[in-house]
Amino acid sequence: MGLVIVTLGGLSPLLSLVVLLAVAFAAGAVGAALGVGGGLFLVPALVLLFGVDIHVAIAASIVSVIATSSAAASNDVQSGLTNVRLAMFLETATAVGGLVGAVVAVTILAAHSNILVFAFVPVVLIAAALMASSRDRDVVPNPPDDPLARRLRLEGEYVGPLTGIRRSYRVTGTRVGLVFAGLAGISSGLLGIGGGIFKVPAMNTLMNVPLRVATATSTFMIGVTAAAGALVYLFAGDVVLGLVAPVVLAVFFGTIVGRAFGHHAPVGRLKVLFVGVLVLAAVLMVARGVGAIP
Amino acid sequence: MTGSDASRSVVPPPEPPGLRDAVGHLLRVGVLVSGIFLFVGFLLAVLRGTAGIAGSVGALPLRGLVGALGAGDPWAYLFVGVAVLAATPVIRVALALESFARVRDRPYVLITGFVLLVLLSSLAFGVVS
């Protein structure tokens, strides 16, 4: 049983721990307020601030992603907002993607941390662009007919947040939806993120799912997606328990706070902060990848 | 139940009865149990001075886990916490499979069965490697 010590710059282990808890808490809180997981911040923070190997950072992140999903999904599942059938259908693609991504990370890329660091950069930049351009697209009453969606009864109902009116929606674009779900799954297994940043816009704009339903459904799916990857990392020995415990606990409390106060948060400014931090992380990851910074 | 008329006021209940509540409770219990184990393990690690941010790499052998828990080994508690967290979604899928099988909803038995198979493949891959 090896021992891994992670410290921040010249700080003592205890101070480093406090900073780690604060960073993970912030990742959870900002993520929850914006309706995304904390993984997008967490992995770059662990790599860039604490000098953690990216495999270990990804494994810690993916475990915390399960915690966030399980904690955040239960209420919406019971209230009926989550489209459980749609989630199960898309999970066929996200779970395969999660498994494939994680297997690639622990086998082919096991000795190639730099490739993973570089792989993170486009994902982070796409996420930043999606967040910057995201908006709530209203559902249309009669989308193009999708026989598979009809056969699997993927339609649903939700109560409009502003109007309070119960509305039904019909799902379309099941094929393109599966493709995006598969890509979200691969990025989850490979990079330790939840992938909601890709699934939510895909469900909203391509599958005619209302934004709130898409967010709840994505959150629900992420537990299964991340578990497919996490089980691989756990037994591959990349899950460093002494790092995972404080990260999961802090992300978890951050998520609770972010969800409780999220509707008071200045979402516009948080989005700018989100995009700014992600772009900065991408630049620093490139610098790390080419060896310009230690 | 063709779902072709979007304007109708009532959509038939789309899941087996009780599935949503069962899944909601399962997720809550999973997070709570894993959170308790992680918290206790973390406290034990800090109290024993084995943590700044220090940790053991890899999975503990399952043999001897109960003994390690009894002896207050922080890593045993942390391992159980992570294992419970990772197992919760797997149990959630198994629960859905059972519900859909009970109402003989064949397409969803196949869908959830496939997802469960993928998750068990992950586990198998991890254990073998």
Give the closest-approach CA distance of B95 to chain A in angstroms.
12
Q: State percent of chain A over pLDDT 70.
A: 92
Size of interface A-B (CB pairs under 8 A): 230
Share of chain B above pLDDT 70, in %: 77
The two three-digit tokens of residue A64, written as one number: 């915390």
What is the β-pairing status of strands A3-5 and A156-159? Answer: unpaired
Helices (H), A134-209: 147-151, 174-191, 196-206
**ipTM for the complex?**
0.88
Is residue B106 assigned to a domain? Answer: yes
In the prediction, which pLDDT does A6 show?
Answer: 59
- Residue B27 domain-assigned (yes or no): yes
Is residue B5 included in any domain, yes or no? no
What residue spans define the domains of chain A? 14-289
Could A2 and B23 be called an inter-chain contact, meaning their C-beta atoms sit closer than 8 Å?
no
Whether B3 is in a domain gets the answer no
| Residue A220, token pair as written in the block | 């629900």
Distance CA A161, CA A159 (A): 6
For residue A239, CA distances in Å to A7, A179, A194, B12 come to 17, 29, 17, 43
pLDDT score of A79 more than 90: no
How many domains would you assign to chain B? 1
Q: Where are the alpha helices (DSSP H) in chain B?
A: 19-47, 65-70, 74-102, 106-128
B window 59-98, beta carbon within 8 A of A: 59, 75, 78-79, 81-83, 85-90, 92-93, 96
Mean pLDDT score of chain B: 80
Provide the pLDDT for residue A99.
96
- Which residues 150-179 in chain A show a CB within 8 A of chain B? 150-153, 155-157, 166, 168-170
Whether residue B72 is contained in a domain is answered as: yes
pLDDT tens for each residue of A129-146:
887 777 777 788 888 899
Asked, for residue B66, whether it belongs to a domain, the answer is yes
